[in-house]
Every structure is written in structure tokens, then in C-alpha cells.
């Protein structure tokens, strides 16, 4: 599987330059020839990292992008003026190391509050510029991830093949409204500037609908590059084929988002939280977010305890409009609550259902037509172990 290099005109490389103490790959380069239109979504954290600020500026200017430089092991966040200058200097170094026909975007992930080790990063940039990467791009962007998160898909549009690819990283500090998550999406279709609205809506329904631990990061980034190398222009397609592309992109992003939750630090289960029958979409999101972020819900799933009352409690404090007598709750496929009252449950059967690697919680609020889906995971002992010694 080629991930981000699957679409025509994209290549990528990765290397180990010494930012990470363990010697693993920590610098990656994604390139597009020809330069691509870029769409971006970023953290809503007020303490956004320097590379996030730089990316926002470049994308807002509307210029075509040819390179994305990524480092892992250091977030370049809470690093002040120096951090922003380091991000600019890394772009300058890349321009000197390789032909850059378009703009350069930068991303970082890792420890917050430590300056970038620029000597090491510059060595990595020189290696990447010569296309002598020692590892794949998706490996170079990982931190506590236990497996790479990659995806690709192709479809026929306008009588030609159109390809999409993607790579993401993330396992901890993951919360709706973006996460310690980097995601890079590529396609060889040409997309108009107006596609930004659809892109952001898809981000909202995928990467902004996952939670591992309820902590919002400083570096969250999702970038889509569309270079038009397939010769297909989205704007020229009939509506049915535009919708087919939208569905393919949404599916790709959803797969990458769920992979992050599956790889949640110490996680043993993927939990799908479906909220239907809400009065408004905002209410549906609020309930889904509250349940997904609840440590009590997450620890219950880890322990195999069918304590579904914790789900109702989270829904109750979510701020959404609720009428308990109209609410119905299904827990691991079993209806456990409706009409304001609990239903009899076979505890042995429920215990078996909770052993599954993928489980579902479904709340029907019964007062409207709005719905939303979140994905989360359980909390295990390993989450504490991983985050108790992250910097070491």
C-alpha cells in the first residue's frame, strides 16, 4: 500500500535525524509535482504551536503547495518567537536542499515546551531533500503510535482514474475539535477553492468526532493536497460523480480517524457512540462527546463492567435537551433502558458481549431527527504508564 504517494504526482520520504531519543524515524517530507491546492483544518487550542500558525498563514494566502515537512519527537509548541523562527528556518533550509516550486507547509508533533533541535532537523532536511529517506513517510510522523495509519482508494470519474491516499498519526492527547493528530490526504483530482466548505464538514464528521482521552493538543493538523495530475477537474464533473468523490474522501478520512482510536494509548476496544433522535445536531454532538470523554464509561469498558448508568449520566450532564421518559439506550446491542426505566438484562450475555474488540453504544433521545456518531476507546492501565513517562 502506497498511502500518500498513491495518487499521481506525489512522492514522500522519511529519515531518522536524531530528534527522537530512541533513534526512530523523526523527519518526513511529502511532495507534489505539480504543486497542489491545499486545504487545512487545525487545532482550536489557543496555545497552537508555531507550525500550525505558519500553515494557517500559507493556506489563507491561497498559494499552491509543493512540500510538507514534518518532524516528530518535538512539538515546537510553547516555544515563543524562537519556535516560529525555527519553523521559518526549516522552510529556508528545505528550499536550499531541494527544488521547491510552490509553498512549504510544516508540521510538528511530540513534546511541548522544548525548542526544536535545529541542527538535527537541518541534517534531516538535507537527507530528505536528496530523496534518500531511510524510512517511509508514515513511519517518520509517528510518536506513541503502535502501527502506521495509511489508506488509499481509487475510482473512475470523467472517464479517468482518480486516486486518493492518506497517512495519519495519533494515539494520545486525542479529543474532538482536533487531536495530537497529524493527517495528510492527497488526491490527483483538481479541486476548486470552494471545496473548502465540504472538506471542513468532512473533517467535522471524522477527525473531529474521535476521542481517546479528552485532551486537545496544540499541534493538530489535517491537510488535503489536490494537484490535478489525473487531468480530472471536480468542477467539470456531474453532481453524481462529485458525490462519488466526496464519499470516497469521507470514507478515507473516516478509516484514518478510526485507526487513531483503535491505536489509542493502552486501548483494548474501539467504542462507537451513536446518538440519534436529538433535537438539534449540536445536541447530538454534545451527548456523543460527553459519553466519549467520560473516564467512567471508558474504564467500565476496559473492565468489562456493563455499567450503562454511566452513559446516561454523561448524557445528562452534556447540556443537551433530554426527556428521560423518551430516551432509549442500547449497550453492546442490548436495549437496557427505555421510557424512563431500566430493562431486565442477562448479565452473563452482556459480559460476553463486552469482550468484543469493537462495541457500540446507541442513544435514541426520541425528541428530534438529528444524529451524530463519535468514536472513542477504553482506558487501561497502560494509558497511565505511557503518559506517566512520556518525556523519558
> Which positions are catalytic?
180
The residues that bridge with 223 in the sheet, in sequence order, are 40, 184
3 state DSSP class of 170:
coil
Cα gap 36→190, rounded to integer Å: 8
Instruction: Tell me if 304 sits within 8 A of 391, measured CB to CB.
Output: no
The residues that bridge with 28 in the sheet, in sequence order, are 14, 70
Q: Is 332 left (phi over 0), alpha (psi -120 to 50) or beta?
A: left
Instruction: Tell me if 93 sits within 8 A of 122, measured CB to CB.
Output: yes
The residues that bridge with 65 in the sheet, in sequence order, are 36, 103
DSSP run (H or E) holding 311: helix 309-316
Q: Which of 73, 93, 188 is nearest to 139 (CA)?
A: 73
173-186: b or e for each residue (b if 16 or more CB lie within 10 Å)?
A: bbbbbbbbbbbbbb
Cα gap 285→274, rounded to integer Å: 10
Amino acid at each position: 500500500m502506497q498511502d500518500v504517494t498513491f495518487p499521481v504526482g506525489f512522492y514522500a520520504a522519511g529519515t531518522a535525524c536524531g530528534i527522537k531519543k530512541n533513534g526512530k524515524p523523526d523527519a518526513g517530507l511529502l511532495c507534489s509535482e505539480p504543486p497542489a491546492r491545499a486545504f487545512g483544518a487545525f487545532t482550536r487550542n489557543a496555545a497552537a504551536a508555531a507550525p500550525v500558525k505558519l500553515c494557517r498563514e500559507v493556506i489563507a494566502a491561497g498559494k499552491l503547495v509543493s512540500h510538507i515537512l514534518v518532524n516528530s519527537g518535538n512539538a515546537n509548541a510553547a516555544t515563543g518567537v524562537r519556535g516560529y523562527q525555527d519553523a521559518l528556518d526549516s522552510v529556508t533550509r528545505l528550499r536550499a536542499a531541494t527544488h521547491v516550486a510552490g509553498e512549504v507547509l510544516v508540521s510538528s508533533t511530540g513534546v511541548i515546551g522544548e525548542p526544536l533541535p535545529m541542527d538535527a532537523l537541518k541534517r534531516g532536511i538535507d537527507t530528505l531533500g536528496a530523496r534518500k529517506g531511510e524510512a517511509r513517510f508514515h513511519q517518520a510522523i509517528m510518536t506513541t503510535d503502535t502501527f502506521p495509519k495509511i489508506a488509499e482508494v481509487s475510482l473512475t470519474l470523467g472517464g479517468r482514474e482518480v486516486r486518493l491516499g492518506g497517512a495519519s498519526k495519533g494515539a494520545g492527547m486525542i479529543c474532538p475539535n482536533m487531536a495530537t493528530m497529524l493527517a495528510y490526504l492527497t488526491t490527483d483530482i483538481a479541486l476548486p477553492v470552494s471545496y473548502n466548505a465540504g472538506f471542513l464538514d468532512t473533517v467535522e464528521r471524522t477527525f473531529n468526532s474521535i476521542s481517546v482521552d479528552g485532551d486537545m493538543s496544540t499541534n493538530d493538523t489535517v491537510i488535503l493536497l489536490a494537484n490535478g495530475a489525473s487531468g480530472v477537474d471536480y468542477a467539470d464533473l456531474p453532481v453524481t460523480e462529485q458525490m462519488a468523490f466526496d464519499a470516497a474522501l469521507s470514507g478515507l478520512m473516516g478509516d484514518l480517524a478510526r485507526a487513531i482510536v483503535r491505536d489509542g494509548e493502552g486501548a483494548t476496544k474501539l467504542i462507537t457512540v451513536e446518538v440519534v433522535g436529538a433535537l438539534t445536531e449540536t445536541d447530538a454532538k454534545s451527548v456523543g462527546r460527553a459519553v466519549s470523554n467520560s473516564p467512567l464509561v471508558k474504564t467500565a469498558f476496559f473492565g468489562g463492567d456493563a455499567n450503562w448508568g454511566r452513559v446516561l449520566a454523561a448524557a445528562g450532564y452534556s447540556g443537551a435537551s433530554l426527556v428521560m421518559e423518551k430516551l432509549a439506550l442500547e449497550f453492546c446491542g442490548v436495549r437496557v433502558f427505555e421510557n424512563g426505566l431500566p430493562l431486565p438484562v442477562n448479565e452473563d450475555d452482556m459480559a460476553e458481549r463486552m469482550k468484543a474488540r469493537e462495541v457500540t453504544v446507541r442513544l435514541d433521545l426520541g425528541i428530534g431527527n438529528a444524529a451524530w456518531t463519535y468514536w472513542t476507546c477504553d482506558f487501561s492501565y497502560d494509558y497511565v504508564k505511557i503518559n506517566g513517562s512520556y518525556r523519558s
